[in-house]
Structure 1
Amino acid sequence: MSTRAYRGRSPEQRVAERRGRLLAAGLDLWSELGWSGVSVRGVCARSGLTDRYFYESFDDRDALLLAVFDQVRDELTGRLLAVPFTGEPRAVMRTMFTVLVTALADDPRYARIAFTEPAGCPALEIRRHDALLAVAESVAEGVRSAAPEENPRDLHGTALFCVGGVGGLISAWLAGRRPEAPEELAERCTDLCARVFGV
C-alpha cells in the first residue's frame, strides 16, 4: 500500500473513508432488503467501490453486516448513556425512553436492524443479547444512582426484565400493532418500568 498522501489525505484516511462508504451502503441495503438480501456485489454497487476495496476492510458479507449492527448499537446506546442519571428517577426513565423511541422514529433503518430483522445469524443474535445485557446494566446503575433507597433486591434482573419488555413493546410498535405516537410509547414504557422498579 502506498504511504503517500493523496489529495491531502493519508492512506489510512482513505481506507477509513472507503470503509465508511461500505458501512453506509450496508446499512441502507440491510434496511431495504433484509439480512439475506445483502450481497457483496450489491454493497459495492451502492457504495461505488470495487470488491477489491470491500475485502480491504471486511472478510465477507457477514463481517460487514455485523459491523453495521455494531455501528447502530453504538449510536443508540451512546444516545441513551448521554442521558444524565440525576434527578427524579421517573423523569430519568422518561427521558431515556423518549430519546430511544425518537431515534427509532427518526431513522427506521435503525429500528429494523436493532429490533425487527430476524437474520438467523448466530453471531448477530449473540451481539443482540450482549447489547440487551449492557443496556440492562446501564439502567440498573442509573436506578441505583437515582434512587439508592428504593432499589429492588435483584436490581440487575429487574432491569433486564424491563429492558426485555420495552423491547417487546417497541417491536410491536414498529410492526404497527401499537398505533401510538412516539411520546405516548415513551410514557407507556416509563409507567411500566416505574411500577416494576417501585419508583
Structure 2
Amino acid sequence: MAGREYRGMTAEQRLADRRERLITAAYTLFAQPGFHDTTIERLCSTARISNRAFYECFTNRDELMCAVYERCVEETLDAVSRAVEKAAPTLNDRILAGVGEYIRFVTMDVRRARLMHLEVRRAGDVLSSARQLAVKGFSQVIQNAVGDVPHALPPDLHLLSLGLTGAITELLIEWVLADPAPPVDGLIETATHVFHRSLQPET
C-alpha cells in the first residue's frame, strides 16, 4: 500500500528525499572536516532534517559513510569502464584511457578524492569490507581491460592488478595531502609509466 501524500510526496518519496539529502551533506562533511569530526547533529542541520529522521534513513554514521563511499566508487568505476570501452583495443591505449580517466575523475572533485583515498582509511573498520570490495572492483577493471590484449598477460594478473590499484591510491593520497599538490598530469604520467612497465610483455 502506498504511503499517504504530504506536500505532493508519498512517505516513500519523503524517505528517499531525506536519505539523498543526508548523502549529499555527508559527501561534503565527511570529506572536510572528516568522518570522525562530523556529528549526526551537524549532518541533520546541513541536510535540513530532524535527528529523528536521520534514524529513519540510516542506523548510524557508519552506515551513512558506507553509502557515500560506495556511491563514489560506483561512479568512478562506471567512468573508468566507459573510457576503457571507448579506447582502441591496444594495451597502450587502454592503459592511458583507464588510468587517465580514473585520476581525472577522482581529482575533479577534491571531496571525492578525500573520501575515497583518505577518509576511507581514517574511518577504519567502518569501511574495511566496502574498501575490499572497491579494490576488487578496480582490479577487475584492470584485468578486463588488458586480459584480452595479446602478449599482455603477466604470470598472475590478479595480484598485479591489486598492486597497481594500490599504486594509484598512494599517488592520490599524495595529491590530497601535499602542499602544493602535484599536478594531475604528473599523476597520470607517473601512473601510466608504472602500468606500462608492469604490463608490457617481457622480451
Tell me the TM-score normalised to structure 2 length. Answer: 0.88
Which of 95, 98, 121 is the aligned partner of 1:96?
Answer: 98
Match of 1:131 in 2: 134
Give distance in 2, aligned partners of 1:170 and 1:124: 18
How far apart are residue 158 of structure 1 and its match?
1.4
Tell me the TM-score normalised to structure 1 length. Answer: 0.90
Which of 168, 186, 191 is the aligned partner of 1:184?
Answer: 186
Give distance in 2, aligned partners of 1:93 and 1:177: 28
Amino-acid identity (%): 25
1:42-121 equivalences in 2 (<5 Å): 42-85=42-85, 86-117=88-119, 118-121=121-124
Give the SS at the match of 2:187. Answer: helix
Task: Say whether 1:34 aligns with 2:37.
Answer: no
Question: Which ranges in structure 1 are unaligned for 5 or more consecutive residues?
Answer: none
How far apart are residue 5 of structure 1 and its match?
3.0
What letter is aligned with 1:69?
Answer: Y
RMSD over aligned Cα atoms: 2.1
1:61-81 deviations in Å (ceiling 9; x for gaps): 211111111111111112112
Give the SS at the match of 2:182. Answer: coil
User: Relative to 1, partners in 2 of residues 1:139 and 1:178: Cα closer, same or farther, differing over 3 Å?
Assistant: farther
How far apart are residue 45 of structure 1 and its match?
0.6
What letter is aligned with 1:132?
Answer: V
What letter is aligned with 1:158?
Answer: L
How far apart are residue 177 of structure 1 and its match?
6.7
Give the SS at the match of 1:36. Answer: coil
Match of 2:167 in 1: 165
Give the SS at the match of 1:38. Answer: coil
Give the SS at the match of 1:149. Answer: coil
CA contact (8 A) 2:23 2:68 kept: yes
What letter is aligned with 2:108?
Answer: D
User: Relative to 1, partners in 2 of residues 1:2 and 1:138: Cα closer, same or farther, differing over 3 Å?
Assistant: closer
Give the number of equivalent residue pairs: 198
Question: Which ranges in structure 2 are unaligned for 5 or more consecutive residues?
Answer: none
